[in-house]
Amino acid sequence: MVTLRELLATASRTFAVGIEILPRPLRQEITVAYLLLRVSDYLEDSRELAPEAKIALLEEWRRVLGGEAASEGLIRRLGEAEEDTPDAAVARHCETVLEGLGRLDPAARAIIVRRVRESTAGMARWTRRGSVFETEGDLDDYMHEVAGRVGLLLTELFSLRLSGVGEDRDRMMALGREFGLALQTVNVIRGLHEDRDRGWVYVPAAFLPDPGMRARDLFEPANRDAAMAVLDRLVEKADRHLGAARDYLRMVPRRHHRVRLFCLLPLLFAVRTLAISRTNPEVLDRETKMTRREVLAITRRAKLFGFSNGWIARYCRRLAERGT
């Protein structure tokens, strides 16, 4: 039988690196939370499910998580998922993930269930609404459901497990949400072409230079200048959120070095990904991503120097240089 650790590696090798650094019991708790959310992601993003089926299955998944519905039918249905994606691979083994959830400490389990149910309900709401983003507020609302709530979930777990974390709870929760929005905005930028292919373009109409333009028109060669102007606005937005993410990291005491590393690695990866996406027209045609060599170098340096807030600030400035 597949293990949670194997599922985590299947879902995201990069994220698995950060989770493996965490101390127990956070390592197991965040592994389970991440995999539960990947099941929700599958139900939202699947190309083999119609929108009505997605909404119904997201709602059923939410009820199963809350103990309001039996899990057997959904487990059987997800076991038949045919897509060759990391999300589908996790969904096919959702029974293993649910068993892992059942083994967690009740306090942590309650946090995870509540936040994953909230995120799942938000995904269902946006699936029902469709890919219509009129304003930046609309985009932020969507990103809050799929990523901002993850920041809230993690902050609650950190407050539960770590001394000195959460003393200024309201500020840390707000910054945790911003951290989630930062990572999701970078995901929006690097996934522009792929999301377009499945009919979703995460660009608010308010960002478009021409009121008569549609978001999907940005990918037309004749609209390249307009597309680059929109990219500039998305990059500026990501930069703002990443500033809040750096503030969040400074609120985690340095004695919790492994937890800081867990937070630091996705921050550094996002800063670097944003740097290679900035003013880069290739993001409209293919995924922009770091090389494996860059990932390894960033990880190695973070492990050595990530205890220092001053080093983090300097290294973020270096990574933000396009040609580094």
Give the distance from CA 173 to its chain's centroid: 16
Q: How far apart are CA 28 and CA 10, in angstroms?
A: 16
Tell whether domain 131-324 is in CATH 1.10.600.10. yes
pLDDT over 90 percentage in the chain: 82
Using the predicted structure, report yes or no on whether residue 76 has a pLDDT greater than 60: yes
Q: Are 229 and 277 in contact, with CB atoms under 8 Å apart?
A: no
What is the DSSP annotation of 261-314?
A: HHHHHHHHHHHHHHHHHTT-GGGGTS-----HHHHHHHHHHHHHHTT-HHHHHH
Rounded Cα gap, residues 78 and 89, in angstroms: 10
Residue 322 confidence (pLDDT): 62
Q: Rounded to whole angstroms, how far apart are CA atoms 299 and 293?
A: 10
Q: Give the pLDDT of residue 324.
A: 47
pLDDT band of 1, cuts 50, 70, 90: confident
Domain boundaries, the chain: 1-105, 131-324
Interval 250-309: pLDDT, tens: 999 999 999 999 999 999 999 999 999 998 999 888 878 888 899 999 999 999 999 999
Torsions phi, psi for 113 (to 5 deg): -60, -45
The 3-state DSSP class for residue 121 equals helix
Provide the whole-model pTM.
0.94
Average pLDDT over residues 140-151: 97
- Dihedral, 9, 15, 21, 25 alpha carbons, nearest 10: -80
Consecutive H or E run containing 207: none
Given this model, what pLDDT does residue 98 score?
A: 98
Give residue 228's pLDDT band: very low, low, confident or very high (50, 70, 90): very high
Average pLDDT over residues 229-246: 96
The pLDDT tens digits for 23-65 are 999 999 999 999 999 999 999 999 889 999 999 999 999 999 9
Residues 6 or more apart from 124 whose CB is under 8 A from it?
A: 54, 55, 58, 59, 62
How far apart are alpha carbons 17 and 265 in whole angstroms?
Answer: 9
Contacts of 183 (CB under 8 A, 6+ apart): 147, 245, 266, 270
For residues 8 and 97, is the Cβ–Cβ distance under 8 A?
Answer: no
Of residues 266, 191, 252, 304, the one with CA closest to residue 15: 266
